[in-house]
Amino acid sequence: MTNFLQRAAEKVLEQFPLAAPIRQVFLGNAGGFSGARLWRIHAGPNTWCLKAWPRGRISAEELNTIHEWMKVARNADLGFVPSVFLTRDRRSFAAYAVRLWDLTEWLPGNANFHAYPSRARLVAASHALAKLHHLWSRCESRLFVPSSITRRLESAAEWRTLIESGWQPDFANPALAALADIAHEAWVALPALGAPIQQELSDWNRPMMVQPCLCDIWHDHVLFDGERVSGIIDYGAMRLDQRAADLARMFGSLAGDNAEAWASALDAYRSIIPLASYEVELISVLDRTGTILAAANWLRWLYHEGRHYDDLAAVRRRMLSAVARMKRWNSARQAIILS
Protein backbone atom coordinates (compact mmCIF):
# COMPACT_ATOMS: atom_id res chain seq x y z
CA MET A 1 0.00 0.00 0.00
CA THR A 2 2.80 2.42 0.88
CA ASN A 3 4.54 1.91 -2.47
CA PHE A 4 1.25 2.37 -4.32
CA LEU A 5 0.50 5.57 -2.41
CA GLN A 6 4.02 6.83 -3.00
CA ARG A 7 3.63 6.42 -6.74
CA ALA A 8 0.21 8.03 -6.56
CA ALA A 9 1.66 10.99 -4.64
CA GLU A 10 4.24 11.52 -7.36
CA LYS A 11 1.50 11.59 -10.00
CA VAL A 12 -0.59 13.98 -7.93
CA LEU A 13 2.30 16.40 -7.44
CA GLU A 14 2.60 16.69 -11.22
CA GLN A 15 -0.77 18.46 -11.13
CA PHE A 16 0.66 21.31 -9.02
CA PRO A 17 3.00 24.04 -10.38
CA LEU A 18 5.74 23.40 -7.82
CA ALA A 19 9.22 24.86 -7.96
CA ALA A 20 12.09 22.41 -8.42
CA PRO A 21 13.80 20.61 -6.86
CA ILE A 22 11.03 18.59 -5.22
CA ARG A 23 11.68 16.26 -2.29
CA GLN A 24 9.08 14.14 -0.48
CA VAL A 25 9.04 12.81 3.08
CA PHE A 26 6.30 10.27 3.79
CA LEU A 27 4.73 10.79 7.24
CA GLY A 28 2.17 7.99 7.26
CA ASN A 29 -0.87 8.97 9.28
CA ALA A 30 1.23 11.38 11.42
CA GLY A 31 -0.42 10.06 14.58
CA GLY A 32 -3.98 10.53 13.32
CA PHE A 33 -6.79 8.01 13.04
CA SER A 34 -8.85 9.24 10.07
CA GLY A 35 -7.13 7.08 7.47
CA ALA A 36 -5.47 10.06 5.78
CA ARG A 37 -1.86 9.82 4.60
CA LEU A 38 0.53 12.76 4.68
CA TRP A 39 3.78 13.85 3.03
CA ARG A 40 6.07 16.79 3.76
CA ILE A 41 6.94 18.30 0.41
CA HIS A 42 10.03 20.46 -0.08
CA ALA A 43 9.69 22.38 -3.34
CA GLY A 44 12.29 25.01 -4.06
CA PRO A 45 12.33 27.41 -1.10
CA ASN A 46 8.86 26.35 0.14
CA THR A 47 7.49 23.50 2.24
CA TRP A 48 4.02 22.03 1.85
CA CYS A 49 1.87 19.28 3.30
CA LEU A 50 0.39 16.84 0.80
CA LYS A 51 -2.66 15.03 2.15
CA ALA A 52 -4.37 11.99 0.69
CA TRP A 53 -7.82 12.17 2.20
CA PRO A 54 -9.45 8.92 3.40
CA ARG A 55 -11.36 7.13 0.69
CA GLY A 56 -15.09 7.81 0.82
CA ARG A 57 -14.86 10.01 3.91
CA ILE A 58 -15.34 13.35 2.19
CA SER A 59 -16.90 14.52 -1.08
CA ALA A 60 -15.39 16.96 -3.54
CA GLU A 61 -18.12 19.45 -2.63
CA GLU A 62 -17.38 19.14 1.11
CA LEU A 63 -13.64 19.55 0.61
CA ASN A 64 -14.16 22.56 -1.61
CA THR A 65 -16.32 24.15 1.10
CA ILE A 66 -13.60 23.55 3.72
CA HIS A 67 -11.04 25.16 1.45
CA GLU A 68 -13.32 28.16 0.94
CA TRP A 69 -13.60 28.61 4.70
CA MET A 70 -9.82 28.39 5.02
CA LYS A 71 -9.45 30.96 2.24
CA VAL A 72 -11.73 33.38 4.12
CA ALA A 73 -9.39 33.18 7.11
CA ARG A 74 -6.24 33.66 5.03
CA ASN A 75 -7.74 36.62 3.20
CA ALA A 76 -8.33 38.19 6.62
CA ASP A 77 -4.58 37.89 7.34
CA LEU A 78 -4.91 35.05 9.82
CA GLY A 79 -1.50 33.59 9.06
CA PHE A 80 -1.96 30.66 11.44
CA VAL A 81 -4.34 29.11 8.89
CA PRO A 82 -2.43 27.30 6.11
CA SER A 83 -2.84 28.55 2.57
CA VAL A 84 -4.17 26.08 0.00
CA PHE A 85 -2.01 25.57 -3.09
CA LEU A 86 -3.97 25.41 -6.36
CA THR A 87 -3.46 22.86 -9.12
CA ARG A 88 -2.41 23.85 -12.62
CA ASP A 89 -6.10 24.03 -13.57
CA ARG A 90 -6.81 26.30 -10.53
CA ARG A 91 -8.56 23.71 -8.38
CA SER A 92 -7.96 23.44 -4.63
CA PHE A 93 -7.57 19.66 -4.75
CA ALA A 94 -6.76 16.82 -7.10
CA ALA A 95 -8.60 13.53 -7.58
CA TYR A 96 -6.46 10.45 -8.14
CA ALA A 97 -6.49 6.75 -7.17
CA VAL A 98 -9.98 6.94 -5.65
CA ARG A 99 -8.85 9.66 -3.23
CA LEU A 100 -8.94 13.42 -2.99
CA TRP A 101 -5.60 15.15 -2.46
CA ASP A 102 -4.72 18.65 -1.37
CA LEU A 103 -1.53 20.61 -0.85
CA THR A 104 -1.41 23.12 1.97
CA GLU A 105 1.23 25.34 3.51
CA TRP A 106 3.54 23.70 6.05
CA LEU A 107 3.27 26.03 9.02
CA PRO A 108 6.11 26.62 11.50
CA GLY A 109 5.95 25.88 15.22
CA ASN A 110 5.39 22.95 17.53
CA ALA A 111 2.38 21.36 19.23
CA ASN A 112 4.04 21.58 22.63
CA PHE A 113 1.59 23.34 24.92
CA HIS A 114 1.75 20.59 27.55
CA ALA A 115 5.54 20.74 27.58
CA TYR A 116 5.52 24.53 28.04
CA PRO A 117 2.12 25.54 29.41
CA SER A 118 1.46 29.18 30.18
CA ARG A 119 -1.46 31.54 30.56
CA ALA A 120 -0.13 33.63 27.66
CA ARG A 121 -0.20 30.62 25.34
CA LEU A 122 -3.70 29.65 26.43
CA VAL A 123 -4.92 33.20 25.87
CA ALA A 124 -3.27 33.25 22.43
CA ALA A 125 -5.01 30.00 21.45
CA SER A 126 -8.37 31.32 22.68
CA HIS A 127 -7.92 34.56 20.75
CA ALA A 128 -7.03 32.64 17.58
CA LEU A 129 -10.14 30.45 17.84
CA ALA A 130 -12.35 33.46 18.54
CA LYS A 131 -11.04 35.23 15.44
CA LEU A 132 -11.81 32.20 13.31
CA HIS A 133 -15.31 31.88 14.72
CA HIS A 134 -15.96 35.58 14.18
CA LEU A 135 -15.00 35.36 10.51
CA TRP A 136 -16.74 32.09 9.81
CA SER A 137 -20.01 33.23 11.39
CA ARG A 138 -20.25 35.62 8.44
CA CYS A 139 -19.92 32.74 5.97
CA GLU A 140 -22.91 30.80 7.19
CA SER A 141 -25.03 30.54 10.31
CA ARG A 142 -28.41 29.00 10.91
CA LEU A 143 -30.64 27.46 13.55
CA PHE A 144 -30.08 23.72 13.69
CA VAL A 145 -29.59 20.90 16.18
CA PRO A 146 -25.78 20.82 16.61
CA SER A 147 -24.09 17.72 15.22
CA SER A 148 -21.97 17.61 18.38
CA ILE A 149 -25.19 16.77 20.25
CA THR A 150 -26.67 14.34 17.74
CA ARG A 151 -23.38 12.45 17.32
CA ARG A 152 -22.93 12.10 21.06
CA LEU A 153 -26.50 10.86 21.42
CA GLU A 154 -25.86 8.23 18.73
CA SER A 155 -22.64 7.10 20.43
CA ALA A 156 -24.32 6.95 23.83
CA ALA A 157 -27.20 4.87 22.42
CA GLU A 158 -24.78 2.46 20.71
CA TRP A 159 -22.79 2.04 23.91
CA ARG A 160 -25.91 1.46 26.02
CA THR A 161 -27.23 -1.14 23.55
CA LEU A 162 -23.87 -2.92 23.59
CA ILE A 163 -23.67 -3.00 27.40
CA GLU A 164 -27.28 -4.17 27.79
CA SER A 165 -26.49 -7.09 25.47
CA GLY A 166 -24.08 -8.37 28.12
CA TRP A 167 -20.94 -7.67 26.11
CA GLN A 168 -17.61 -7.22 27.90
CA PRO A 169 -14.18 -6.46 26.43
CA ASP A 170 -11.68 -9.31 26.15
CA PHE A 171 -8.76 -7.70 27.95
CA ALA A 172 -6.67 -10.81 27.29
CA ASN A 173 -6.66 -10.13 23.54
CA PRO A 174 -2.93 -10.48 22.69
CA ALA A 175 -3.18 -8.02 19.80
CA LEU A 176 -4.19 -5.31 22.28
CA ALA A 177 -1.84 -6.24 25.12
CA ALA A 178 -0.29 -2.75 25.05
CA LEU A 179 -3.70 -1.27 25.91
CA ALA A 180 -5.05 -3.84 28.36
CA ASP A 181 -4.35 -1.93 31.57
CA ILE A 182 -5.70 1.44 30.44
CA ALA A 183 -8.66 -0.20 28.69
CA HIS A 184 -9.56 -1.97 31.93
CA GLU A 185 -9.34 1.32 33.83
CA ALA A 186 -11.69 2.91 31.31
CA TRP A 187 -14.13 -0.01 31.70
CA VAL A 188 -14.13 0.37 35.48
CA ALA A 189 -14.60 4.15 35.37
CA LEU A 190 -17.40 4.20 32.81
CA PRO A 191 -20.40 2.82 34.77
CA ALA A 192 -20.37 5.60 37.34
CA LEU A 193 -20.09 8.37 34.76
CA GLY A 194 -21.81 7.04 31.66
CA ALA A 195 -25.30 6.27 32.89
CA PRO A 196 -26.81 9.79 32.85
CA ILE A 197 -25.24 10.89 29.56
CA GLN A 198 -28.23 10.21 27.29
CA GLN A 199 -30.59 12.19 29.49
CA GLU A 200 -28.14 15.06 29.87
CA LEU A 201 -27.59 15.29 26.12
CA SER A 202 -31.30 14.92 25.38
CA ASP A 203 -31.89 18.14 27.29
CA TRP A 204 -29.71 19.90 24.69
CA ASN A 205 -31.22 18.17 21.64
CA ARG A 206 -32.75 21.35 20.25
CA PRO A 207 -32.02 23.89 17.51
CA MET A 208 -29.25 26.39 18.26
CA MET A 209 -27.20 28.77 16.14
CA VAL A 210 -24.56 26.78 14.27
CA GLN A 211 -21.73 27.99 12.02
CA PRO A 212 -18.52 26.64 10.47
CA CYS A 213 -16.41 25.06 13.23
CA LEU A 214 -13.17 23.08 13.31
CA CYS A 215 -14.68 20.26 15.41
CA ASP A 216 -11.28 18.71 16.12
CA ILE A 217 -9.14 21.46 17.59
CA TRP A 218 -7.00 19.94 20.32
CA HIS A 219 -3.44 19.95 21.62
CA ASP A 220 -1.77 18.36 18.57
CA HIS A 221 -3.48 20.73 16.15
CA VAL A 222 -2.36 24.00 17.78
CA LEU A 223 1.21 25.02 16.93
CA PHE A 224 3.19 27.56 18.93
CA ASP A 225 6.25 29.66 18.26
CA GLY A 226 7.15 30.89 21.71
CA GLU A 227 3.90 32.23 23.14
CA ARG A 228 2.43 32.99 19.72
CA VAL A 229 0.03 30.66 17.88
CA SER A 230 1.88 29.98 14.64
CA GLY A 231 -0.52 27.42 13.23
CA ILE A 232 -3.87 25.72 13.57
CA ILE A 233 -3.77 22.58 11.45
CA ASP A 234 -6.04 19.77 10.25
CA TYR A 235 -9.37 21.05 8.97
CA GLY A 236 -10.67 17.62 8.02
CA ALA A 237 -13.47 17.55 10.60
CA MET A 238 -14.89 20.97 9.72
CA ARG A 239 -18.66 21.24 9.56
CA LEU A 240 -21.51 23.41 10.80
CA ASP A 241 -21.79 23.09 14.57
CA GLN A 242 -22.27 25.11 17.74
CA ARG A 243 -19.08 27.01 18.55
CA ALA A 244 -19.20 25.54 22.06
CA ALA A 245 -18.07 22.27 20.45
CA ASP A 246 -14.73 23.84 19.47
CA LEU A 247 -14.33 25.52 22.85
CA ALA A 248 -15.00 22.28 24.72
CA ARG A 249 -12.53 20.36 22.55
CA MET A 250 -9.73 22.90 22.84
CA PHE A 251 -10.17 23.92 26.48
CA GLY A 252 -10.52 20.30 27.59
CA SER A 253 -7.36 19.35 25.74
CA LEU A 254 -5.22 22.32 26.79
CA ALA A 255 -6.60 23.17 30.23
CA GLY A 256 -7.81 19.77 31.42
CA ASP A 257 -9.47 20.17 34.81
CA ASN A 258 -7.63 23.34 35.81
CA ALA A 259 -10.44 25.73 36.75
CA GLU A 260 -8.17 28.78 36.69
CA ALA A 261 -6.95 27.92 33.18
CA TRP A 262 -10.52 27.43 31.99
CA ALA A 263 -11.47 30.85 33.37
CA SER A 264 -8.53 32.49 31.60
CA ALA A 265 -9.38 30.78 28.32
CA LEU A 266 -13.05 31.76 28.51
CA ASP A 267 -12.23 35.38 29.38
CA ALA A 268 -9.79 35.57 26.46
CA TYR A 269 -12.34 34.19 24.01
CA ARG A 270 -15.10 36.47 25.33
CA SER A 271 -12.87 39.52 24.91
CA ILE A 272 -13.44 39.01 21.16
CA ILE A 273 -16.81 37.21 20.99
CA PRO A 274 -19.47 37.34 23.72
CA LEU A 275 -20.94 34.03 24.84
CA ALA A 276 -24.50 33.49 26.01
CA SER A 277 -24.91 31.83 29.39
CA TYR A 278 -26.32 28.68 27.78
CA GLU A 279 -23.21 28.43 25.59
CA VAL A 280 -20.92 28.54 28.62
CA GLU A 281 -22.96 25.72 30.18
CA LEU A 282 -22.91 23.78 26.91
CA ILE A 283 -19.10 23.98 26.74
CA SER A 284 -18.90 22.13 30.05
CA VAL A 285 -21.50 19.56 28.97
CA LEU A 286 -19.73 18.83 25.69
CA ASP A 287 -16.33 18.58 27.38
CA ARG A 288 -17.54 16.09 29.98
CA THR A 289 -19.73 13.96 27.71
CA GLY A 290 -17.14 14.02 24.94
CA THR A 291 -14.43 12.73 27.27
CA ILE A 292 -16.59 9.93 28.66
CA LEU A 293 -17.86 8.85 25.25
CA ALA A 294 -14.32 8.94 23.86
CA ALA A 295 -13.36 6.25 26.38
CA ALA A 296 -16.46 4.21 25.54
CA ASN A 297 -15.85 4.57 21.81
CA TRP A 298 -12.26 3.36 22.09
CA LEU A 299 -13.42 0.24 23.92
CA ARG A 300 -16.14 -0.38 21.37
CA TRP A 301 -13.92 0.23 18.34
CA LEU A 302 -11.02 -1.85 19.64
CA TYR A 303 -12.66 -4.75 21.45
CA HIS A 304 -16.07 -5.07 19.79
CA GLU A 305 -15.60 -3.86 16.22
CA GLY A 306 -11.98 -4.97 16.02
CA ARG A 307 -10.75 -1.85 14.25
CA HIS A 308 -7.06 -1.81 13.42
CA TYR A 309 -4.83 1.14 14.27
CA ASP A 310 -1.25 1.43 13.07
CA ASP A 311 -0.05 3.35 16.11
CA LEU A 312 -1.29 1.78 19.36
CA ALA A 313 0.99 4.11 21.32
CA ALA A 314 -1.03 7.07 19.99
CA VAL A 315 -4.26 5.26 20.90
CA ARG A 316 -2.91 4.69 24.39
CA ARG A 317 -2.10 8.38 24.83
CA ARG A 318 -5.64 9.32 23.86
CA MET A 319 -7.12 6.78 26.26
CA LEU A 320 -4.79 7.82 29.10
CA SER A 321 -5.94 11.42 28.79
CA ALA A 322 -9.63 10.51 28.91
CA VAL A 323 -9.25 7.98 31.74
CA ALA A 324 -7.20 10.37 33.89
CA ARG A 325 -9.98 12.95 33.77
CA MET A 326 -12.69 10.35 34.37
CA LYS A 327 -10.89 9.06 37.46
CA ARG A 328 -10.63 12.60 38.84
CA TRP A 329 -14.35 13.13 38.25
CA ASN A 330 -15.19 9.84 39.95
CA SER A 331 -13.03 10.78 42.94
CA ALA A 332 -14.74 14.15 43.21
CA ARG A 333 -18.14 12.46 42.96
CA GLN A 334 -17.24 10.04 45.74
CA ALA A 335 -16.02 12.87 47.95
CA ILE A 336 -19.36 14.66 47.54
CA ILE A 337 -21.29 11.49 48.35
CA LEU A 338 -19.22 10.90 51.51
CA SER A 339 -19.29 14.51 52.71
Mean pLDDT (the chain) is 94
Q: What number of CA atoms fall less than 13 Å from residue 257's CA on the CB side?
A: 14
pLDDT (tens digit per residue) in 252-283: 999 999 999 999 999 999 999 999 999 999 99
Give the pLDDT band of residue 329 (cuts 50, 70, 90). Answer: very high
Q: Degrees (nearest 5) of the Cα angle 154, 246, 306?
A: 40
Q: What distance in Å separates the CA atoms of residue 312 and residue 151, rounded to the nearest whole number?
A: 25
Tell me what pLDDT residue 310 has: 83
pLDDT of 72 above 60: yes
Average pLDDT over residues 229-236: 96
Average pLDDT over residues 329-337: 75
pLDDT (tens digit per residue) in 18-56: 998 999 999 987 667 777 899 999 999 999 999 999 988
Tell me what pLDDT residue 195 has: 78
pLDDT of 2 above 90: no
Average pLDDT over residues 297-303: 97
Give the pLDDT band of residue 60 (cuts 50, 70, 90). Answer: very high
CATH of 2-105, one of 3.30.200.20, 3.40.50.2000, 3.40.50.720, 3.30.70.100: 3.30.200.20
- Is the Cα torsion angle 24, 318, 235, 154 positive or negative in sign? positive
Give the pLDDT band of residue 336 (cuts 50, 70, 90). Answer: low
Q: How far apart are the first and last CA of the chain?
A: 58
Instruction: Looking at the structure, give the CATH architecture of the domain made up of residues 119-338.
Output: Alpha-Beta Complex (3.90)
Choice between 124 and 33, residue whose per-residue pLDDT is larger: 124
pLDDT (tens digit per residue) in 138-168: 999 999 999 999 999 999 999 999 999 999 9
**pTM for this one?**
0.94
**Long-range CB contacts (< 8 A, 24+ apart) of 280-284?**
282/204, 282/208, 282/242, 282/244, 282/248, 283/244, 283/247, 283/248, 283/251, 284/248
Tell me what pLDDT residue 31 has: 61
pLDDT of 4 above 90: no
Q: What distance in Å separates the CA atoms of residue 199 and residue 196, rounded to the nearest whole number?
A: 6
pLDDT of 339 above 70: no
- Domain spans in the chain, listed from the N-terminal domain onward: 2-105, 119-338
Give residue 188's Cα distance to chain centre.
26
Beta partners for 42?
23, 47
Average pLDDT over residues 228-254: 97
pLDDT (tens digit per residue) in 77-116: 999 999 999 999 999 999 998 999 999 999 999 999 999 9
pLDDT of 335 above 70: no
**Are the folds of 2-105 and 119-338 the same?**
no
pLDDT of 1 above 70: no
